């Protein structure tokens, strides 16, 4: 009788210890899992025409590793993508990566293709809303169009980013290419096509993003 009781008590103790160890291991695994920062953009973020690892998104990962370890940048940008394309693939990206922060860098190709402003606005709103509903903080990178598109159209395009950010409670960088496209010598910071920033422009683009992004990285 005594031996049975002892063995039963020992078994319960071992089982309890195993459960506690399992819970501890699970907690440690969760703590070690990196927080993900998802970038959904176009060629400006996809290292178009650049050597791999030199784009602003890659530079962002390096900065996070040095200053705020524990973050993983998932760059899901595709050259030529539009807001419609970004919206169509966002749900799968959110489910796969479960990001804590989502950076949306889209709209430039909408403007180049002359797509309706209302469509661009609606797509960006849908993306920001979906990301927030998935539990992520959202940063919207604003773009501007050249003056030859007409002053009224250019202003409306610029404003739509602010409208989306306000409506969807997203952080906003008003102009992603500030200091690049409107600098003292912009041609020195662009590739031969005069559309895509070159490698020398990437650190400035990172600084532009970092000014808004760092506020979203706090626990």
DSSP string, 62-104: HHHHHHSTTEEEEE---TT--HHHHHHHHHHHHHHH--SEEEE
Does 120 lie in the same domain as 208?
A: yes
Does 10 lie in the same domain as 89?
A: no
Catalytic residue among 45, 77, 110, 196: 196
User: Strand 171-173 vs strand 137-141: parallel, antiparallel, or unpaired?
Assistant: parallel
Active site residue 110: no
Catalytic residue among 42, 43, 45, 77: 43
Q: Using CA atoms, how far apart are residues 94 and 205, in angstroms rounded to an integer?
A: 25
Does 45 lie in the same domain as 19?
A: no
3-state percent breakdown (helix, strand, coil) of the chain, nearest 5: 55, 10, 30
Does 135 lie in the same domain as 122?
A: yes
The H-assigned helical ranges of 108-149 are 108-112, 117-133
* Total of domains in the chain: 2
Does 44 lie in the same domain as 13?
A: no
Does 41 lie in the same domain as 24?
A: no
Please report, for the domain that includes residue 181, its CATH number: 3.40.50.1110
Active site residue 153: no
Does 7 lie in the same domain as 75?
A: no
pTM score: 0.85
Does 108 lie in the same domain as 23?
A: no
The H-assigned helical ranges of the chain are 2-32, 56-67, 83-97, 108-112, 117-133, 151-168, 202-213
Question: Could you report the per-residue pLDDT of 63-82, keeping only the tens digit for each?
Answer: 999 999 999 999 999 999 99
Average pLDDT over residues 127-141: 98
Does 177 lie in the same domain as 147?
A: yes
Q: Using CA atoms, how far apart are residues 85 and 82, in angstroms rounded to an integer?
A: 5
Domain that holds residue 76: 34-216
Question: Where do we find the tokens 């169509």?
Answer: 88
Does 77 lie in the same domain as 167?
A: yes
Does 78 lie in the same domain as 2?
A: no
Question: Could you report the per-residue pLDDT of 14-33, keeping only the tens digit for each?
Answer: 445 545 555 544 444 445 78
pLDDT at res. 22: 54
Does 72 lie in the same domain as 5?
A: no
Closest of 187, 172, 206 to residue 56, by C-alpha: 206
Active site residue 43: yes
171 phi and psi angles, rounded to 5 deg: -75, 155
140 phi and psi angles, rounded to 5 deg: -105, 125
């Amino acid at each position: 009788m005594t031996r049975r009781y002892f063995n039963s008590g020992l078994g319960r103790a071992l089982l309890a210890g195993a459960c506690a160890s399992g819970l501890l291991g699970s907690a440690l695994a969760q703590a070690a899992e990196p927080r993900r920062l998802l970038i959904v953009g176009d060629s400006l973020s996809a290292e178009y025409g650049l050597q791999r690892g030199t784009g602003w998104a890659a530079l962002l990962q390096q900065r996070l590793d040095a200053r705020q370890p524990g973050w993983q940048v998932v760059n899901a940008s595709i050259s030529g993508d539009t807001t419609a394309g970004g919206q169509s693939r966002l749900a799968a990206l959110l489910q796969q990566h479960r990001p804590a922060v989502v950076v949306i860098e889209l709209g430039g190709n909408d403007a180049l293709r002359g797509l309706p402003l209302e469509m661009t606005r609606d797509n960006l709103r849908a993306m920001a809303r979906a990301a927030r509903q998935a539990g992520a903080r959202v940063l919207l990178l604003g773009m501007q169009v050249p003056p030859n598109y007409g002053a009224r159209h250019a202003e409306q395009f610029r404003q739509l980013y602010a409208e989306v950010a306000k409506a969807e409670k997203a952080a906003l960088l008003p102009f992603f290419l500030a200091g690049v496209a409107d600098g003292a010598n912009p041609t020195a910071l662009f590739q031969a096509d005069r559309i895509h920033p070159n490698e020398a422009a990437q650190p400035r683009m990172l600084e532009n993003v970092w000014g808004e992004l760092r506020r979203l990285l706090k626990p």
